[in-house]
């Protein structure tokens, strides 16, 4: 663990030391923690630590285990804009892009918690003059949780049909 990851981990430990970790009603506590972490860092710094370009490739890597530590509804739009800027940068350079998403630790409750952001993201992609769905060559979901099929069915109505065949899962089994 290095740099910002370690700082985030320390902030999480401090938060839970001051606020007993809930067994139930975790959603609001997780949002409070994300807001707390978001106040400690510049948003671009946080986003850059978990959404970045793999050098000399057309691959954009997204690391959910880090993203979940600070993502909350108030920053969805800025986060989406950040991602789409990365996509656009790669498209300008390579005329296409590939997305690798590490979903380690992603759960059904996380899918529900971030559903509004996911819908905002897909709407923004679908309504853009840039044909993101057509220009994406592949999306690789790394560390796909075992219940990914359930989550995929939940999200499928919001995913551009062009993308459905481009999504590949690598389970963590």
Number of domains in the chain: 1
**pLDDT given for residue 80 in this prediction:** 97
Range of the domain at 52: 3-171
Mean per-residue pLDDT for 4-22? 85
What integer pLDDT is reported at residue 42 of this predicted model? 93
**Averaged over 30-50, what is the pLDDT?**
91
Confidence of residue 94 (pLDDT cuts 50, 70, 90): very high
Tell whether the model's pLDDT for residue 2 goes beyond 80: no
Are 38 and 67 in contact by the 8 Å Cβ rule? The answer is no
- CATH number for the domain spanning 119: value is 3.40.525
- 3 pLDDT exceeds 60? yes
Q: Are 51 and 83 in contact (CB under 8 A)?
A: yes
Q: What percent of the chain has pLDDT over 90?
A: 50
The CA–CA distances, whole Å, from 22 to 12, 19, 104 equal 13, 8, 21
The pLDDT, as a whole number, for residue 31 is 86
Indicate the pTM of the whole model: 0.85
């Amino acid at each position: 663990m290095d740099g910002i990851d370690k700082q985030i981990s320390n902030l999480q430990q401090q938060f839970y030391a001051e606020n007993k970790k809930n067994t139930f009603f975790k959603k609001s506590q997780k949002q409070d923690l994300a807001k707390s972490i978001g106040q400690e860092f510049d948003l671009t710094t946080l986003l850059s630590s978990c959404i970045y370009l793999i050098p000399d490739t057309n691959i954009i890597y997204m690391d959910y285990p880090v993203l979940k530590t600070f993502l909350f509804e108030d920053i969805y739009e800025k986060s989406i804009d950040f991602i789409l800027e990365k996509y656009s940068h790669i498209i300008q350079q390579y005329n296409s892009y590939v997305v690798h998403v590490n979903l380690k630790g992603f759960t059904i409750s996380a899918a529900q918690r971030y559903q509004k952001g996911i819908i905002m993201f897909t709407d923004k992609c679908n309504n853009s003059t840039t044909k993101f769905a057509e220009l994406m060559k592949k999306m690789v979901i790394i560390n796909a949780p075992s219940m990914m099929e359930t989550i995929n069915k939940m999200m499928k109505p919001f995913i551009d049909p062009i993308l459905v065949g481009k999504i590949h899962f690598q389970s963590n089994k």
